[in-house]
């Protein structure tokens, strides 16, 4: 078999891309909906765009119900998309079963949250891995080839010696070992992309780091592009190169993980970081220590909105302590934050003209875009500077 250690492949190459990806689930009609012209749908994912790069981990962070798993399933082409595109090496792909699906899945593998559910309890580790190797044409020609490939897979995920695990049933393994088998099975396809949907959230806290370190190791050795889905923004800082944040079906912020987690720009990301204990941020050792100073002012209240009738404009506006008039009407575009290259947020607070037009006494719906930064931003910059100065 050929688990490709492609150390020479160009790093940063975009492998898989979501472009305006949208998924609306139809909702079962109630009597009163029969007379409605527009059928009710759950707006699970709306206009989501991002790229996965070879040899890099991208964390997709958001609270429960924000649409993260739907994004993973769309990228795995298990769900058909409502709109948008999925590009593999720049080529638009839409596969529905059969040979094209198998050939896509060989390159893009999904790892699920629950290793209990994803492994069949009546089959051994050998069965699961052999099946994956055979389906994806990596089992070799002889029994020796297959044995070598099986041993190689188990060694890759640090289940050694392989003979100790090959004939074990899932119930004879710990949660961490089961998740390693699930990862080995994904590697049996020799993929370019791993979509890891909350891969450690069902595991004991003490073994989570081991599995995350394994994914990190695979990223480096096999040059994999990894999407790491999590609701734990603190883990994104340590494990992911880039972080993108999702709220109620839309992406609200993105950038390198250090910047997004330590200097979050969007009020929702700030809320997430406040509720995630991060020792460095709390003790003030990190560059973003000032965020905690501002936390009291910045706490968004309330619950995520209904995705059947999501709020107009910015979906976070009903919870946002800084919401302005425009936030209730217009969907914010991606705006550059300006502190680090590539840091963006979909928040009107980063559009000086909008902030100026919203200022008390302002009668200017089309204010001069050259106005100085809005008070909310000046305040945040002060807070960040305070943190750095300590
Ligand atoms: N098959 C489906 N039919 C209808 N609605 C769905 C379906 N799958 C997901 N949803 C809805 O889409 C929204 C996003 O769900 P999704 O599971 O993608 O969120 P998530 O961020 O992964 O949450 P969690 O972390 O709890 O898994 C939710 O409102 C969910 O109820």
CA 44 to ligand 1 center in whole angstroms: 6
- Give the residue, out of 45, 66, 72, 228, with the most ligand 1 atoms within 8 A of its beta carbon, to mutate for a pocket test: 66
Q: Is the CB of 66 under 6 A from ligand 1?
A: yes
Closest atom of ligand 1 to 71 CA is 18
Whether residue 148 contacts residue 155, with contact meaning beta carbons closer than 8 Å, is answered with no
65 CB near ligand 1 (under 6 Å): yes
Q: Token pair 């305070």 is at which residue? A: 386
Atom of ligand 1 nearest to the CA of 79: 1
Enumerate the CATH 3.40.50.300 domain ranges in the chain, comma separated: 14-26+39-231
How far the first Cα of the chain sits from its last, in Å, is 54
pLDDT score for 85: 97
Asked whether 60 lines ligand 1 (CB < 6 A), one says no
Tokens of residue 352, six digits: 């000086």
Confirm or reject: Cβ of 44 under 6 Å from ligand 1: yes
Residue nearest to atom 24 of ligand 1 (CA): 64
Rounded to 5 degrees, φ, ψ at 49 are -130, 130
User: pLDDT tens for residues 241-283?
Assistant: 999 999 999 999 999 999 999 999 999 999 999 887 654 543 3
Nearest CA to ligand 1 atom 4: 25
User: How many whole angstroms from 246 Cα to the centroid of ligand 1?
Assistant: 13
* Residues whose CB is less than 8 angstroms from the CB of residue 37 and which lie 6 or more positions away in sequence, other chains included: none
How many Å apart are CA 318 and CA 44, to the nearest integer?
Answer: 18
319 CA → ligand 1 middle, Å: 20
Q: Is 230 in the pocket of ligand 1 (CB under 6 A)?
A: no
CA of 308 to the centre of ligand 1 (A): 12
Coil, strand or helix at 73? helix
User: For residues 256 and 258, what is the distance between their CA atoms, to the nearest angstrom?
Assistant: 6
Q: For residue 106, give every residue at least 6 positions away whose Cβ sits within 8 Å of its Cβ, in sequence order, or none.
A: 136, 137, 189, 190, 191
Residue nearest to atom 2 of ligand 1 (CA): 25
List the beta bridge partners of residue 91. 88
CATH superfamily of 14-26+39-231: P-loop containing nucleotide triphosphate hydrolases (3.40.50.300)
Look at ligand 1, atom 17, and give the residue with the nearest C-alpha. Answer: 69
Report the residue among 67, 80, 199, 235 best suited for mutation to probe ligand 1: largest number of ligand atoms under 8 A from its CB. 67
Ligand 1 centre to CA of 252 (Å) is 18
How many whole angstroms from 112 Cα to the centroid of ligand 1? 14
Ligand 1 pocket, residue 88 CB under 6 Å: no
CA distances for 118 relative to 59, 181, 182, 186, 231, angstroms: 22, 10, 7, 11, 20
**Cβ of 69 below 6 Å from ligand 1:** yes
**pLDDT value for 7:** 45
Tokens representing residue 4 in the block: 């490709």
What confidence score (pLDDT) does residue 96 get? 85
Q: Count other C-beta atoms under 10 Å from residue 185's C-beta.
A: 22
Is the complex ipTM higher than 0.90? yes
Residue among 29, 43, 60, 69 whose CB has most ligand 1 atoms within 8 A, to mutate: 69
pLDDT at 34: 60
Residue 198 alpha carbon, nearest atom of ligand 1: 25
pLDDT on residue 367:
37
Intervals of the chain under pLDDT 70: 1-11, 29-37, 277-301, 362-390
* Token couple for 337: 């934050």
């Amino acid at each position: 078999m050929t688990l490709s250690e492609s150390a020479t492949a160009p790093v940063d190459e975009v492998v898989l891309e979501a472009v305006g990806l949208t998924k609306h689930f139809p909702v079962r009609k109630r009597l009163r909906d029969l007379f409605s012209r527009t059928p009710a749908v759950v707006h699970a994912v709306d206009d989501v765009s991002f790229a996965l790069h070879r040899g890099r981990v991208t964390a997709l962070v958001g609270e429960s119900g924000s649409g993260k798993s739907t994004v993973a399933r769309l990228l795995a082409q298990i769900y058909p998309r409502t709109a948008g595109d999925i590009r593999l090496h720049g080529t638009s792909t839409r596969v529905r079963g059969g040979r094209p699906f198998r050939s896509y899945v060989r390159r893009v593998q999904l790892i699920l949250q629950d290793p209990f559910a994803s492994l069949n309890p009546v089959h051994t580790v050998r069965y699961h891995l052999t099946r994956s190797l055979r389906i994806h044409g990596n089992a070799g020609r002889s029994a020796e080839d297959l044995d070598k490939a099986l041993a190689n897979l188990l060694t890759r995920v640090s289940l050694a010696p392989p003979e100790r695990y090959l004939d074990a049933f899932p119930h004879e393994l710990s949660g961490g070992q089961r998740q390693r088998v699930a990862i080995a099975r994904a590697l049996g396809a020799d993929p370019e992309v791993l979509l890891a949907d909350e891969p450690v959230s069902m595991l004991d806290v003490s073994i989570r780091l081991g599995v995350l370190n394994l994914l990190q190791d695979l990223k480096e050795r096999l040059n994999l592009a990894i999407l790491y889905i999590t609701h734990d923004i603190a883990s994104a800082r340590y494990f992911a190169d880039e972080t993108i944040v999702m709220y109620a079906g839309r992406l609200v912020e993105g950038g390198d993980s250090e910047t997004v987690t330590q200097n979050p720009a969007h009020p929702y990301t700030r809320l997430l970081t406040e509720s995630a204990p991060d020792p460095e941020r709390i003790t003030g050792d990190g560059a973003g220590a000032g965020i905690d100073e501002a936390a009291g002012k910045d706490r968004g209240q309330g619950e995520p909105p209904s995705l059947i009738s999501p709020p107009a404009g910015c979906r976070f506006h009903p919870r946002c302590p800084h919401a302005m008039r425009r936030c209730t009407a217009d969907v914010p575009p991606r705006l550059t934050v300006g502190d680090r290259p590539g840091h963006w947020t979909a928040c009107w607070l980063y559009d000086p003209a909008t902030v100026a037009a919203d200022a008390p006494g302002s009668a200017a719906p089309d204010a001069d875009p050259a106005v100085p930064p809005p008070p909310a931003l000046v305040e945040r910059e002060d807070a960040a500077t305070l943190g750095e100065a300590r």
